[in-house]
Amino acid sequence: MYDFSRLTGTIHEWLSSFMPAVAVSVTEGILIGIVFLIFFAVLGLILVIAERKIAGFFQFRLGPNRVGPFGIFQTVADTVKLLMKELVGTSKADSFLYNLAPYFLIIGVLMSLAVIPYGLGLTAYDINIGLFFIMAVSSVGVIGILLAGWASNNKYSMIGAMRSGAIIISYELSLGLSSVLTMVLLAGSLNMNDIVISQTEGWWLFRGHIPAIIAFIIFIITGTAETNRVPFDLTEAESELGAGYHAEYSGIKFAFFFLSEFVSMFIISALAVTVFLGGWLPIHIPGWEGFNNIMDYIPSPVWFLMKTSVVIFILMWFRWTFPRLRIDQMLTLEWKYLLPLSILNLILMALMVNMGWIF
């Protein structure tokens, strides 16, 4: 299995050979920041075109097919259009908060990307509370949404922002109980890489029996709600609120909101893969040594991205399958069903771990 810590260690040693320690830290921070900004932009473009192609597949149409081969450069053309658009706002908006709101979303997304283990030795910020950290900073985005709705001085934007606050605060409880606490009981650590390595003998989705499967289902439901995607997109319900909390935004500022939603979907999928599906570990079948050796030749980032792509496809599948819920139905689902089920599932998992009833 490829260990990318050797590559990162070599880069660190090379910089240390002609720079003082402080300059090395600053340089590495700048390089990592540039890499993640590029990754943020490219990932958003890829996910947007994937969403539109999958939408076309489910609706028996072609999807984008004009710009570039098979329409793969359509999102590039859309990005150029957004960059060239005039930044039109409203004169009654709170200009400072109005301009600040999109950056809260970007900061939360970029900080979440930093602790995800993309491969063996390929983590930008490997800390022992990585899972807790990603759950904490991912909630920063709701501040940007609330600011956008308030500062726009638009009643539809404000309604969308208030819905977002209610939804994210509510579903954050089940998301934490289903992923953080339940899986930490199995892995015994909050470190993202430790959680991956603890699945060397098998994914927790299967080794954790029925409670792990229940936790995974709850995680997918609550993760979809956290990213404001159908059927939980009440914050930007077009038929009710126009564009919702970002109705007054245009150009690059609108692009920030748009791309952040798709990258948040990647983060939720990556978190599901890391906690439930073995992260960057290859697929191994007991007794099939030849097959397992061949799988080890595939780089760990490739495994991680393949697994994440499967979960992303499932989330996109949801969007083009289920109708939108009402806000009262969403809150009823969380407080009356998902939260009690998450608590009972956590107790059951604690009992199973204490009794040693895992594979």
pLDDT in tens, 277-334: 999 999 888 888 888 888 888 899 999 999 999 999 999 998 888 888 888 888 899 9
Is residue 116 predicted with pLDDT exceeding 90?
A: yes
Q: What one-character DSSP code corresponds to residue 17?
A: T
Nearest to 148 by CA among 236, 24, 264: 236
Residue 148 lies in a domain: yes
Torsion angle of the four alpha carbons 58, 61, 66, 70, in this order, in degrees rounded to the nearest 10? 50
Please, are residues 174 and 334 in contact by the beta-carbon 8 Å criterion? Answer: yes
Is residue 243 predicted with pLDDT exceeding 80?
A: no
Residue 252 lies in a domain: yes
Residue 52 lies in a domain: no
- pLDDT score at 274: 93
Is residue 174 predicted with pLDDT exceeding 80?
A: yes
- pLDDT score at 238: 63
Mean pLDDT of 26-32: 90
What is the domain range of residue 316?
A: 91-355
Nearest to 359 by CA among 220, 211, 214: 211
Nearest to 56 by CA among 325, 316, 242, 323: 316
Is residue 204 predicted with pLDDT exceeding 80?
A: yes
DSSP 75-121: HHHHHHHHHHS-----TTS-HHHHHHHHHHHHHHHHHHHHT---STT
Q: Give the range among 19-23, 122-126, 234-238, 279-283 with minimum mean pLDDT.
A: 234-238
- Tens of pLDDT, residue by residue over 36-50, are 989 988 998 999 999
Mean pLDDT of 125-150: 86
In the structure, what pLDDT confidence band is assigned to residue 94 with cuts at 50, 70 and 90?
A: confident
Percent residues over pLDDT 70 in the chain: 97
Is residue 236 predicted with pLDDT exceeding 70?
A: no
Q: For the chain, where are the alpha helices, taking DSSP H only? A: 5-16, 21-58, 74-84, 95-114, 130-137, 141-151, 155-175, 182-187, 192-197, 204-207, 209-226, 238-241, 251-276, 289-296, 300-319, 327-332, 339-355
What is this structure's pTM?
Answer: 0.92
Calculate the average pLDDT of the chain: 87
Residue 63 lies in a domain: no
Radius of gyration of the chain, Cα coordinates, nearest whole angstrom: 21
Residue 310 lies in a domain: yes
Residue 53 lies in a domain: no
Residue 69 lies in a domain: no
- pLDDT score at 3: 78
Q: What one-character DSSP code corresponds to residue 70?
A: G
Our count of domains for the chain comes to 1
Please, are residues 272 and 311 in contact by the beta-carbon 8 Å criterion? Answer: yes
- pLDDT score at 325: 83
Range of 178-187, 250-259, 264-273 with top mean pLDDT: 264-273
Residue 296 lies in a domain: yes
Mean pLDDT of 45-72: 89
- Greater confidence, 312 or 161? 312
